[in-house]
Chain A
Amino acid sequence: MTSYFNEMYQGNSVRAPYARLQDWMSAMPAELRQMKQAEAEALFRRIGITFAVYGEGGDPDRLIPFDMFPRVFSGTEWARLERGIKQRARALNAFLVDVYGRGEIVRAGRIPARLVYLNEAYEKAVVGFVPPKGVYSHIVGIDLVRTGPDEFFVLEDNCRTPSGVSYMLENREIMMRMFPDLFRENRIQPVDSYPEILRRTLASVAPAKCDREPTVVILTPGHYNSAYYEHSFLADLMGVELVEGQDLFVEGEFVFMRTTEGPRRVDVIYRRIDDAFIDPLCFRPDSMLGVPGLMDVYRSGGVSICSAPGAGVADDKAVYTYVPEMIRFYLGEEPILNNVPTWQCGKSDDLAYVLAHLDELVVKEVHGSGGYGMLVGPKASADQVELFRARITANPANYIAQPTLALSTTPTFVAEGIAPRHVDLRPYCLVGERIELVPGGLTRVALTEGSLVVNSSQGGGVKDTWVLAE
């Protein structure tokens, strides 16, 4: 049987970062815990944070379970993660500038041309454009799992518009309200500067033609979008306008926002809509969500779009395999964080291996998300394995496979009391004039016993994530 790294206990002793949680945990009788859990749920309902994490769909009004037991990192553990995350964010951005420029990494034979240039996320419309400060992906969400004291793996990169950061902020807010004592007893680094750092990051990439304090807006597809809550939440905290496509228009060389005091020029658009929808003149002509003419203004330096259109080619699951290569190629450094070894079923050797080891591997669709279209070999029934065998054989290039990782566990409140449950982590790295990372992120937890799938659509919940000051 696989053994899993428990982040709180090492044998019978408590690991240092969790030292003070031991008492807190033992001092909490079941009735108090249930009362607190109900209180937390009421708070989440009141603030209305019920959206699906990471655009997984599902019932928009469903509350994602919040687990009160925090997940804790020591300052030292975090310092290494921080270096690794920032390194990755730098390399991903260097890759994007390169593949929309001269494509040196392709010319050098370090990544196949077809994988980049025939990728659905590769936007021909931005070839030759270098966004302000050379940044394509301004918010890089990196999904990490842990398998040992010093073993972390990157599961995937999210370079477009990673969601979930509102949970990081709300989980903290609610924990502080419910357990103020915990925050006196532990030296927990704050995360509440995130909105201000985000605003500063966005302002720092104002376009060439902006000669004043930049006006930043968040562009949302609207209140039907599952992450609308997060869009309005961030706009509020940053003190910027939340707009829909119809609130913006292009006139001459610039983009303007309609306001009650008349049109106001917009310099930076933090867009939470996909590339395909941002400008019907350039991309999907039937899109009603975007702003006609926006891309011409963007490419001529009249407005900045964050993340930059085309950023998605860096976070494709097939391109992911090459991120360590990007780090070596652009930065001349060795990767601090490991990739999960990945087999690409599109390659015949890999395919043969995968089909022979389906019961051990995790198989994912190249373009899938949210834990759908995924096979966890060791947990799957024989029928499911055969179903995937047929699917992979029919369209091998659509699948990748990875070893089933022994995801770490943290103590989690469950019906029977407290039990270990598997977790992952998504920190949010901000890239503008500087690269910044608030100490924390979103921890997702697989609430079902033994489950390795943390997606909220598959019974996952969320936790507050602490980074202790040294």
Chain B
Amino acid sequence: MLLTVDHVTRYFYDQPVRGVVQSHRLMPSQCAGQKMLRWKVTVSDGQMGGGFRDGAGDWVQGWTVLGPVNEITVQVTGQVETVDQAGVLRGHKELTPAEAYLRKTHPTEADAALAALAEGLDPAKDALAAAHEISARVSDAILYTPDTTNAHTTAAEALAQGTGVCQDQAHAVIAIARHAGLPARYVSGYLLVGLDGAAHDAAHAWAEVFIAGLGWVGFDPANRCCPDDRYIRLGSGLDSRHAAMIRGIARGQGEESLVVSVSVQEGQIQSQTQQ
């Protein structure tokens, strides 16, 4: 499938800031089923900093903006040709050992309720079946409901209220999988939603679970499926913060607000004009 991405993040500061430093994970993963045809990341008034491929195989790119500025725009445009890999991450070079993804983090800490969702699973016997079951249980226990959680909501909190978005569901899958002894991680990327090509206000996220003998396998509890050719994988981490597409800090007193617009379309359609 040919996917065209147009992803714009605009940061506004209520008073000018002296400078901005960002760290991006905004390049498509180099793996089977993802061929990058063109890809471009720009930062308004930005200077490209150091970039490197990290131990998890992600391209990390630093950027700095010299102030004073009132707003900056990060724009990602590109095209990727995808082929369905049935959710399995293949041909992806990485060095970080799977065991390192058993570590707990605050948003992925398994409380009693999350631990209870691991009951009856036998990952030692069939890890893949267990991972599918975890993802299905999370889809049922945390109903996809926008605007009921925020960026800092933990998996335990989302489960307690029974609603959340893809980030919360991915955190829950990770928490339960790790509790069951399966290495798991958070993946950020893009998803083709619907056919209308309408822009959304967020990118997508899902989880990957490490299955011995198979490797990393993606699970998207928000869509009750494994990632296929509608997905573009960018980066991964222990949780949403570690896998964030953009991390940044502004120097100065200005209060920050941001507007995100993500459009993923099938085929070779011209990207919409940005105002």
Give chain B residues whose Cβ lies under 8 Å from the Cβ of A302. 49-50
- Rounded to whole Å, the gap between the CB of B67 and the closest CB of chain A is 11
Give chain B residues whose Cβ lies under 8 Å from the Cβ of A118. 99-100, 102-103
Per-residue CB contact flags for chain A residues 279-304 toward chain B (1 = under 8 Å, else 0) read 01110010000001101110111100
- Rounded to whole Å, the gap between the CB of A206 and the closest CB of chain B is 15
Give chain A residues whose Cβ lies under 8 Å from the Cβ of B90. none
A299 to B60, CA, bound (A): 9
- Rounded to whole Å, the gap between the CB of A438 and the closest CB of chain B is 35
Closest residue of chain A to B18, judged by CB? A249
Closest residue of chain B to A107, judged by CB? B97
> Pick the contact of B49 from A117, A122, A253 — CB < 8 Å?
A253
A129 to B55, CA, bound (A): 8
Per-residue CB contact flags for chain A residues 117-150 toward chain B (1 = under 8 Å, else 0) read 1100010111111000000000000000000000
- The reply to whether the CB of A29 lies closer than 8 angstroms to some CB of chain B is no
A133 to B7, CA, bound (A): 40
A106 to B97, CA, bound (A): 10
A296 to B24, CA, bound (A): 10
Give chain A residues whose Cβ lies under 8 Å from the Cβ of B50. 253, 296-297, 299-302
Given A251-B64, A292-B249, A293-B64, decide whether A124 and B55 contact each other with a Cβ distance below 8 A: yes
A282 to B237, CA, bound (A): 11
Give the interface size class of chain A: 20 to 34
A431 to B263, CA, bound (A): 51
- The reply to whether the CB of B200 lies closer than 8 angstroms to some CB of chain A is no
- The reply to whether the CB of A25 lies closer than 8 angstroms to some CB of chain B is no
Closest residue of chain A to B64, judged by CB? A251
B52-A296 in contact (CB<8A):
yes
B49-A250 in contact (CB<8A):
yes
- The reply to whether the CB of A113 lies closer than 8 angstroms to some CB of chain B is yes
Given A127-B95, A128-B95, A293-B23, decide whether A252 and B64 contact each other with a Cβ distance below 8 A: yes
Give chain B residues whose Cβ lies under 8 Å from the Cβ of A122. 100
- The reply to whether the CB of B54 lies closer than 8 angstroms to some CB of chain A is yes
Per-residue CB contact flags for chain B residues 106-127 toward chain A (1 = under 8 Å, else 0) read 0000000000000000000000
- The reply to whether the CB of B69 lies closer than 8 angstroms to some CB of chain A is no
A126 to B96, CA, bound (A): 10
Give the interface size class of chain B: 20 to 34
- Rounded to whole Å, the gap between the CB of B111 and the closest CB of chain A is 19
- The reply to whether the CB of A403 lies closer than 8 angstroms to some CB of chain B is no
Interface secondary structure of B, over-half rule = strand
- Rounded to whole Å, the gap between the CB of A70 and the closest CB of chain B is 47
B95-A281 in contact (CB<8A):
no
A281-B53 in contact (CB<8A):
no
Given A118-B102, A252-B47, A282-B23, decide whether A296 and B97 contact each other with a Cβ distance below 8 A: no
Give chain A residues whose Cβ lies under 8 Å from the Cβ of B97. 103, 106, 113, 117
Per-residue CB contact flags for chain B residues 48-66 toward chain A (1 = under 8 Å, else 0) read 1111111110001110101
- The reply to whether the CB of A46 lies closer than 8 angstroms to some CB of chain B is no
Given A251-B64, A299-B60, decide whether A114 and B99 contact each other with a Cβ distance below 8 A: yes
Give chain B residues whose Cβ lies under 8 Å from the Cβ of A301. 50
- The reply to whether the CB of A102 lies closer than 8 angstroms to some CB of chain B is yes
A124 to B242, CA, bound (A): 10
B99-A250 in contact (CB<8A):
no
- The reply to whether the CB of A368 lies closer than 8 angstroms to some CB of chain B is no
A260 to B246, CA, bound (A): 33
Give chain B residues whose Cβ lies under 8 Å from the Cβ of A106. 97
Per-residue CB contact flags for chain A residues 342-356 toward chain B (1 = under 8 Å, else 0) read 000000000000000
A300-B62 in contact (CB<8A):
yes
B21-A281 in contact (CB<8A):
yes
A320 to B64, CA, bound (A): 41
Give chain B residues whose Cβ lies under 8 Å from the Cβ of A126. 55
Give chain B residues whose Cβ lies under 8 Å from the Cβ of A300. 49-52, 62
Give chain A residues whose Cβ lies under 8 Å from the Cβ of B47. 251-252
- Rounded to whole Å, the gap between the CB of B188 and the closest CB of chain A is 16
Given A251-B64, A252-B64, decide whether A127 and B96 contact each other with a Cβ distance below 8 A: yes
- The reply to whether the CB of A101 lies closer than 8 angstroms to some CB of chain B is yes
A380 to B100, CA, bound (A): 39
- Rounded to whole Å, the gap between the CB of A313 and the closest CB of chain B is 11
- Rounded to whole Å, the gap between the CB of B18 and the closest CB of chain A is 9
B95-A101 in contact (CB<8A):
yes
Question: Could you list which residues of chain B lie within 8 angstroms of chain A, going by C-beta atoms?
Answer: 19, 21-23, 47-56, 60-62, 64, 66, 95-97, 99-100, 102-103, 238, 241-242, 247-249, 251
Query: Can you list 9 A-B pairs with a CB-CB distance of less than 8 A?
Result: A102-B95, A114-B102, A117-B99, A127-B96, A253-B48, A281-B21, A293-B22, A300-B49, A300-B51
Known: A117-B100, A280-B249. 13 other contacts (CB 8 A): A103-B97, A113-B99, A122-B100, A124-B55, A124-B56, A124-B100, A125-B54, A127-B56, A127-B100, A249-B19, A251-B66, A281-B247, A297-B49
